[in-house]
């Protein structure tokens, strides 16, 4: 079966999933968790085979760590499924209700998006998280994982498919793509696939966007900033900068640029440099920074760079407005922080910085679906429409307008006839 | 100034618009309405010139009607601005609030999208509606209207620009593009433009989608259905079919296909054919239809055709499930209706039909932003993400995650340390 067939099966499954009750979806999720536990030995063995191959191919240590799917990871994903069962169903929520006229009632009701294609890195736990988020939100899903995880992914998908179908989920709601050619074909099927979520590098997300007319939810890298205001608590600022930069450098919500108000730069920079050096992190500074502390000079390119490494670019600026302008010019709209004791400045920063996540007196590293309490996340979005920041269940639904009438026709509202009442109703969709 | 400069000015304006208070935006809207009235004579004269040119070029009568911008249309758009002033500001609404831990509070707050490019037909009233919706929702807008309305659009844009800037709106928040080359250039500026809304034919929307990586909100035509169930009130069904098909045939929410349950086809089809013939509307029927009434046979192509004309394709089907399958296969996801006395069947139809608007016992022609009470609409979406159906103010905003801390760092939540509380808060964003 080609990808056309795969996508058509997914579309059919999505048309059935949309009508499945919350209880049935939750029961299927419980069955899936049980099946994963029952199949633990085989899944871990498959992962061992993937790991052996990856080691042969000299995959880097951090990537091997992500690829590993052991008993601990299995327990973690099953705990994740448990939490997901406990969350409200995002489908069927009444978002608005309006009486258009007597007996003519309009409801805006949440519903699944349909068929979602997700392309993700070699992390088997992501496969479980993504597919169960899609099931809970009533979406069919086509999954393309990294090739290093091929054997693990195949067994996980088989396990989830069988447990899901045995619990009454429609055949085809979860399917695995295997090759890059499969992905290329998927990108052309805009009649069957409603949303593509590519996880990976900026260049990869861009490639996907340039090669499909399907809507794409992705992120354009994480050039995250911390701005330390002239009226900041400098001890707090030190802790936040170190956490934002050094706690885990390889992730998109790590800070890449520190902006420092010139009023406190001479006092603050030597302190933070000492802290960062302890963590093995190097500063690249603007001219004013270089005049205050010993460090290499930053170039224009540094302000646009997502290091994902133990490097922090530092710029001394004249104050709040220049900080906001810098971030809106060089940032990627991911996560930006202000450290200040002045609420009005925090308010300005949070209104005017154009990013999905804007933080006051806290670290950029909190920008994450689990930490936000969304359950897991299917990805992170720096898009400006539909969903922004960490995307959990709520980003996987859309809505329908449902209009209930009693034979109403538009011809009766033609200027001289009946008038619309447009009264807000405080009730749920009744059907 | 090239389109690069135009878009950069719009981006700068959007960064200022985001911080403008509701009262200031409303005051600007009032000034714009006044300025339009004060400039009425010149605007109407410019429109007369456009109309004269269009008549010379033998533009069709319905298009001339849309192009006309007279005193009545001016009063209508100013009334529209008045209503818009009265609507709640869609920006700054707290959509969710969660305590992540003591003193660490997460708020999901609505905000403008940024810069929106709208390409629309030769209807000067649309220019006023779109630009004022964008202003109220805090977005900068690039407008490309049909060339037939060039003189009217120029004068309207000048009037709105001057009145807006005099009322404190940032320079560049509204700008007019003049040529197709301008549009082509705009489509490449994905760093400055956040959303494109193309209004027009299916082929045109598709062309836009294929030629940009910017998010596109558009509609893929309106192949709207009415399904008359076996347990329908046939008198009601007749009125609804005639209204849905004939009340205004040239619009996307007019019905194109009638599906009739075989249980009532013999009784219903002759009645509805008589009604439709009175309105000058021709039926193209499936084999079963042709066996019951005198009409030409429909081809496979008819089920996929948006006639926008006095033609209705008619198919006799075996019941609810076949109706839903037909609609999900051939429909365009715009607006689909069921006529039935059985609430359970209506509920099934409304859950399982995959369309932005699903109606019970009422006409597809109600699918419209004004009739829904959204104020005006900036367009209609058959997308599956962000916004669906008529798009009013709410479709022009997105949200930011705003996190307020007191020096919280992620390092303290690393397994053994602090725990997240994830408690839902019932309060508004406080800054």
- Which of B352, B396, B407, B429 to mutate to test binding with chain A, by most A CBs within 10 Å of its CB? B407
Domain assignment of residue B265, yes or no: yes
* Average pLDDT value for residue range B137-146: 97
pLDDT band at B375 (very low <50, low <70, confident <90, very high): confident
Residue B312 to residue B329: CA distance in whole angstroms: 18
**Nearest CA to CA, how far is A360 from chain B (Å)?**
5
CA atoms within 13 A on the CB side of B7: 22
Element (H, E) at A79: helix A71-86
**Nearest CA to CA, how far is B289 from chain A (Å)?**
24
Judged by a CB distance cut-off of 8 A, whether residue B418 touches chain A is: no
Contact A350 B389 (CB under 8 A): no
**Nearest CA to CA, how far is B361 from chain A (Å)?**
5
Residue A219 to residue B240: CA distance in whole angstroms: 46
Contact B373 A239 (CB under 8 A): no
Residues B262-277: tens digit of each pLDDT: 999 999 999 999 999 9
pLDDT band at A201 (very low <50, low <70, confident <90, very high): confident
* Average pLDDT value for residue range A258-269: 98
User: Would you state the pLDDT for residue B27?
Assistant: 98
User: Which chain B residue lies closest to A13 (C-alpha atoms)?
Assistant: B352
User: Would you state the pLDDT for residue B376?
Assistant: 81
Residue B414 to residue A323: CA distance in whole angstroms: 31
Q: What is the CATH number of the domain that holds B343?
A: 3.40.309.10
Residue A81 to residue A35: CA distance in whole angstroms: 12
Domain assignment of residue A36, yes or no: yes
User: Would you state the pLDDT for residue A415?
Assistant: 76
Q: Hey, which residues 192-231 in chain B have their CB within 8 Å of chain A?
A: 194-195, 206, 209-210, 213, 215, 217
Chain B residues touching residue A413 (CB < 8 angstroms) = 371
Indicate whether B52 and B150 sit together in one domain.
Answer: yes
- The mean pLDDT of chain A is 96
Residues A305-328: tens digit of each pLDDT: 999 999 999 999 999 999 999 999
Indicate whether B279 and B337 sit together in one domain.
Answer: yes
Given A111, A324, A385, which is nearest B195 (Cβ)? Answer: A385
- Which of A107, A279, A347, A385 to mutate to test binding with chain B, by most B CBs within 10 Å of its CB? A385
Percent of chain A with pLDDT over 70: 100
Indicate whether A159 and A48 sit together in one domain.
Answer: yes
Given A373, A384, A411, which is nearest B420 (Cβ)? Answer: A373
pLDDT at A1 over 80: no
Residues B201-257: tens digit of each pLDDT: 888 999 999 999 999 998 878 999 999 999 999 999 999 999 999 999 988 999 999
Indicate whether A214 and A228 sit together in one domain.
Answer: no
Contact B403 A357 (CB under 8 A): yes
Contact B399 A385 (CB under 8 A): no
Q: H/E/C letters for each residue in chain B?
A: CCHHHHHHHHHHHHHHHCCCCHHHHHHHHHHHHHHHHHCHHHHHHHHHHHHHHHHHCCCCHHHHHHHCCCHHHHHHHHHHHHHHHHCCCCCCCEEEEEEEECCEEEEEEEEECCEEEEECCCCHHHHHHHHHHHHHCCCEEEEECCHHHHHHHHHHHHHHHHHHHHCCCCCCCEEECCCHHHHHHHCCCCCCCCEEEECCCHHHHHHHHHCCCCCECCCCCCCEEEEECCCCCHHHHHHHHHHHHHCCCCCCCCEEEEEEEHHHHHHHHHHHHHHHHHCCCEEEECHHHHHHCCCCECCHHHHHCCCCCCEEEEEEECCHHHHHHHHHHHCCCCEEEEECCCHHHHHHHHHHCCCCEEEEEECHHHCCCCCCCCCCCCEEECCCCCCCEEECHHHHEEEEEEEEEEEECHHHHCCCCCCCCCEECCCCCCC
Q: What is the CATH number of the domain that holds B12?
A: 3.40.605.10
Residue B294 to residue B310: CA distance in whole angstroms: 17
Contact A366 B104 (CB under 8 A): yes
pLDDT at A16 over 90: yes
Percent of chain B with pLDDT over 70: 100
User: Would you state the pLDDT for residue A213?
Assistant: 92
Indicate whether A244 and A205 sit together in one domain.
Answer: no
Q: What is the ipTM of this complex?
A: 0.94
**Nearest CA to CA, how far is A80 from chain B (Å)?**
15
Given B195, B324, B360, which is nearest A384 (Cβ)? Answer: B195
Indicate whether A251 and A329 sit together in one domain.
Answer: yes
Indicate whether B244 and B147 sit together in one domain.
Answer: no
Contact B388 A411 (CB under 8 A): no
Q: Hey, which residues 84-113 in chain A have their CB within 8 Å of chain B?
A: 98, 100, 104, 106, 111, 113
A248: Cα separation from own chain's centroid = 18
Q: Hey, which residues 20-79 in chain B have their CB within 8 Å of chain A?
A: none
User: Would you state the pLDDT for residue B188?
Assistant: 96
Indicate whether B260 and B207 sit together in one domain.
Answer: no
**Nearest CA to CA, how far is A53 from chain B (Å)?**
31
Q: Which one, of B24, B384, B121, lies nearest residue A14 by Cα?
A: B384
- Which of A333, A403, A420, A430 to mutate to test binding with chain B, by most B CBs within 10 Å of its CB? A403
User: Would you state the pLDDT for residue A207?
Assistant: 92
Judged by a CB distance cut-off of 8 A, whether residue A15 touches chain B is: yes
Element (H, E) at A237: helix A234-246
Indicate whether A251 and A346 sit together in one domain.
Answer: yes
Judged by a CB distance cut-off of 8 A, whether residue B389 touches chain A is: yes
Given B114, B351, B356, which is nearest A19 (Cβ)? Answer: B351
pLDDT band at A62 (very low <50, low <70, confident <90, very high): confident
Contact B194 A359 (CB under 8 A): no
* Average pLDDT value for residue range B347-368: 97
The per-residue DSSP string of A247-275 comes to S-TTSTTSEEEEEEEHHHHHHHHHHHHHH
Contact A398 B410 (CB under 8 A): no
Residue B231 to residue B216: CA distance in whole angstroms: 41
- Which of B400, B425, B429 to mutate to test binding with chain A, by most A CBs within 10 Å of its CB? B400
Please say whether the dihedral angle defined by the alpha carbons of residues A17, A22, A23 and A27, taken in this order, is positive or negative. positive
User: Would you state the pLDDT for residue B414?
Assistant: 80
Domain assignment of residue B178, yes or no: yes
Indicate whether B317 and B169 sit together in one domain.
Answer: no
Q: What are the residues whose beta carbons fall under 8 Å from the beta carbon of A145, sequence distance 6 or more?
A: A120, A121, A122, A123, A124, A126, A127, A153, A176
Judged by a CB distance cut-off of 8 A, whether residue A411 touches chain B is: yes
Interior/surface letters A21-46, b for 16+ CB within 10 angstroms, e for the rest: eeeebbebbebbbebbeebbeebbeb
- The mean pLDDT of chain B is 96
Q: Which one, of B353, B359, B355, B352, lies nearest residue B332 by Cα?
A: B355
Q: What are the residues whose beta carbons fall under 8 Å from the beta carbon of A330, sequence distance 6 or more?
A: A223, A257, A303, A304
The DSSP output letter for A89 is P
Contact A215 B217 (CB under 8 A): no
Domain assignment of residue B153, yes or no: yes
Task: Provide the residue range defining the domain that includes A251.
Answer: 224-366
User: Would you state the pLDDT for residue B355?
Assistant: 96
- Which segment of A90-94, A266-270, B93-97, B376-380 scores lowest on mean pLDDT? B376-380
For A171, the token pair is 């055949």
> How many domains does the structure of chain A reveal?
2
pLDDT band at A417 (very low <50, low <70, confident <90, very high): confident
**Nearest CA to CA, how far is A309 from chain B (Å)?**
17
User: Would you state the pLDDT for residue A329?
Assistant: 96
Domain assignment of residue B95, yes or no: yes
Q: What are the residues whose beta carbons fall under 8 Å from the beta carbon of B30, sequence distance 6 or more?
A: B81, B85
Indicate whether B286 and B190 sit together in one domain.
Answer: no
Judged by a CB distance cut-off of 8 A, whether residue B266 touches chain A is: no
pLDDT at B109 over 80: yes
Cα-based distances in Å from B271 to A311, A362, B242, B254, B414:
78, 70, 11, 20, 72
Contact B354 A114 (CB under 8 A): yes
Residue B387 to residue A69: CA distance in whole angstroms: 38
Q: Which one, of B358, B305, B64, B228, lies nearest residue A111 by Cα?
A: B358
Indicate whether B68 and B191 sit together in one domain.
Answer: yes
CB-based contact A373:B422 (threshold 8 Å): yes
pLDDT at A283 over 90: yes
């Amino acid at each position: 079966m080609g990808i056309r067939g795969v996508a058509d099966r997914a579309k059919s499954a999505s048309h059935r999933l949309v009508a499945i009750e919350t209880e049935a979806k939750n029961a299927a999720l419980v069955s899936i968790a049980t099946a994963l536990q029952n199949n633990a030995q085989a899944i871990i063995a498959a992962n061992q085979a993937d790991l052996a191959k990856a080691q042969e191919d000299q995959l880097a240590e951090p990537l091997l760590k992500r690829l590993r799917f052991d008993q601990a990871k299995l327990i973690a994903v099953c705990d994740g499924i448990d939490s997901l069962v406990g969350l409200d169903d995002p489908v069927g929520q009444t978002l608005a209700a309006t009486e258009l006229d007597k007996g003519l009632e309009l409801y805006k009701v949440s519903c699944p998006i349909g068929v979602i294609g997700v392309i993700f890195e070699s992390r088997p736990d992501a496969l479980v998280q993504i597919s169960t988020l899609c099931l809970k939100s009533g979406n069919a899903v086509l999954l393309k994982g990294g090739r290093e995880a091929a054997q693990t992914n195949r067994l996980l998908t088989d396990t989830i498919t069988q447990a899901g179908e045995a619990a009454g989920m429609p055949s085809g709601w979860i399917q695995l793509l295997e090759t890059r050619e499969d992905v290329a074909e998927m990108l052309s099927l805009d009649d069957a696939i409603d949303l593509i979520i590519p996880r990976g590098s900026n260049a990869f997300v861009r490639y996907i966007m340039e090669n499909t007319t399907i809507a794409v939810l992705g992120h354009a890298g994480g050039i995250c900033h911390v701005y330390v205001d002239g009226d900041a608590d400098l001890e707090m600022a030190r802790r936040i900068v170190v956490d934002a930069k050094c706690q885990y450098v390889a992730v998109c919500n790590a800070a890449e640029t520190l902006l420092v108000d010139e009023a406190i730069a001479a006092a603050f920079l030597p302190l933070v440099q000492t802290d960062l050096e302890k963590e093995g992190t190097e500063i690249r500074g603007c001219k004013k920074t270089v005049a205050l502390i010993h460090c290499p000079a930053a170039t224009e390119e540094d302000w646009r760079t997502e290091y994902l490494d133990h490097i922090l670019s530092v710029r001394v600026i004249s104050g709040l407005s220049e900080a906001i302008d810098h971030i809106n010019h060089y940032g990627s709209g991911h996560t930006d922080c202000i450290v200040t004791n002045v609420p009005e400045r925090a308010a300005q920063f949070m209104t005017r910085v154009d990013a999905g996540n804007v933080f006051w007196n806290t670290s950029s590293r909190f920008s994450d679906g689990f930490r936000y309490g969304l359950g897991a996340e299917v990805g992170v979005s720096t898009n400006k429409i539909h969903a922004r920041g960490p995307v959990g269940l709520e980003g996987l639904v859309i809505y329908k307008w449902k209009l209930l009438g009693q034979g109403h026709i538009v011809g009766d509202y033609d200027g001289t006839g009946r008038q619309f009442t447009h009264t807000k109703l405080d009730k749920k969709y009744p059907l």
